[in-house]
């Protein structure tokens, strides 16, 4: 009965070890496949050529008391809105509040940002659906995101990346006095632009592999022992020690009959020479502890050298 209970306990323990190893391996795989995120911030002054691109559906667009500047240079592949009443407009990004007034507006998109001559399209353009007579304050903080969309050898050999802008928008809506005019107030958090880049780092991957291997080595050493000086682990000294009582007794009887005197136990006996005692130790080590095949190969090599 006791042996059955011990066997069931050992089985449960083995299942737990397997589940733990599976969970750790899953975490290890995710740590390798998941890229590193690098964050940076770049400040710009008013002399930099940076513009916010919006797609606005309405008439009579007024920006800071002047007619809005139409962004005719927007690449054709970005122009997916064929509505004749919708136009791309360019607004300066200088970290200051900008006021836009549009008559009979139906909707507006925060479409992207232009830095010098490079466009960054918004992955999901933020849609504003104002009504006439509203004032909408648009708070935003642009972040340029470089995301790896296809990678080679976990990104170590490069990969194809996609760049887009996330405006991190939230709005505040109030009622205006003018019934036909909608006011959009663009309020940037600062004049800085943030960057987020995905990268794969060889040192990080090697570190994760080393940590995973170290954890497995520690578990193995705990269960089965680690060195010649401590070859027995938890399983041998506790689990197997209880499960294999019958085999232990059989082994003791075999050792008693085969090895006389018993090495390390019997002490010095007058009936046995030192040579016999050493031979007994060699036999015991060769049969149960040491792999002596490489010594046999060494002996053969020495024999061939003498010939």
Radius of gyration of the chain (CA): 38
Whether the CA torsion 147, 150, 153, 154 is positive or negative: it is positive
Specify the higher pLDDT residue, 217 or 150.
Answer: 217
Whether the CA torsion 100, 104, 110, 112 is positive or negative: it is negative
Place of tokens 């130790």: 281
Mean pLDDT of the region 62-73: 85
Give ranges for CATH 2.60.470 in the chain: 39-199
Task: Count Cβ neighbours within 10 Å for each residue of 262-273 and write b for 16 or more, e otherwise.
Answer: ebeeeeeeeeee
Nearest to 175 by CA among 167, 166, 183: 183
Q: How confident is the model at residue 307 (pLDDT cuts 50, 70, 90)?
A: very low
Specify the higher pLDDT residue, 204 or 104.
Answer: 104
* Res 10 pLDDT > 70: no
SS3 305: helix
| 39-199 carries CATH number 3.40.50 | no
Mean pLDDT, the chain, integer: 75
Ranges 6-15, 155-164, 225-234: which has the least confidence: 6-15
Helix axes 2-33, 202-224, angle to 10 degrees: 170
Mean pLDDT of the region 31-45: 72
The Cα–Cα gap between 240 and 188 comes to 69
Predicted confidence at residue 143, as pLDDT, reads 92
Mean pLDDT of the region 230-239: 68
Beta strands in 225-289 (DSSP E): none
Predicted confidence at residue 204, as pLDDT, reads 62
Give the global pTM: 0.55
């Amino acid at each position: 009965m006791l042996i059955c209970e011990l066997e069931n306990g050992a089985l449960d323990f083995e299942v737990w070890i397997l589940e733990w190893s599976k969970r750790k391996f899953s975490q290890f795989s995710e740590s390798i496949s998941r890229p590193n995120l690098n964050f940076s911030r770049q400040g710009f002054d008013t002399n930099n050529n940076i513009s916010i691109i919006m797609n606005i559906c309405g008439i009579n667009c007024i920006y800071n008391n002047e007619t809005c500047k139409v962004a005719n240079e927007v690449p054709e592949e970005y122009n997916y809105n064929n509505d004749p009443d919708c136009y791309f407009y360019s607004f300066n990004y200088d970290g200051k509040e900008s006021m836009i007034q549009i008559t009979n507006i139906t909707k507006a998109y925060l479409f992207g940002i232009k830095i010098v001559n490079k466009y960054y399209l918004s992955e999901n353009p933020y849609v504003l659906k104002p009504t006439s007579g509203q004032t909408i304050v648009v708070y935003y903080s642009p972040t340029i995101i470089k995301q790896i969309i296809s990678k080679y050898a976990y990104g170590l050999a490069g990969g194809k990346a996609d760049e887009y802008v996330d405006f991190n928008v939230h709005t505040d809506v109030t009622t205006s006095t003018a019934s036909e005019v909608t006011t959009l107030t663009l309020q940037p958090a600062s004049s800085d632009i943030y960057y987020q880049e995905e990268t794969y780092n060889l040192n990080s991957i090697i570190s994760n592999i080393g940590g995973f291997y170290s954890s497995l080595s520690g578990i193995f050493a705990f269960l089965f022992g680690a060195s010649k000086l401590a070859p027995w682990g938890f399983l041998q000294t506790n689990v197997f020690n209880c499960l294999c009582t019958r085999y232990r007794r059989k082994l003791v009887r075999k050792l008693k009959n085969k090895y006389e005197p018993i090495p390390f136990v019997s002490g010095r006996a007058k009936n046995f020479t030192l040579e016999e005692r050493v031979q007994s130790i060699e036999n015991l080590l060769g049969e149960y502890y040491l792999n002596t095949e490489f010594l046999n190969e060494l002996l053969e090599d020495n024999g061939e050298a003498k010939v």
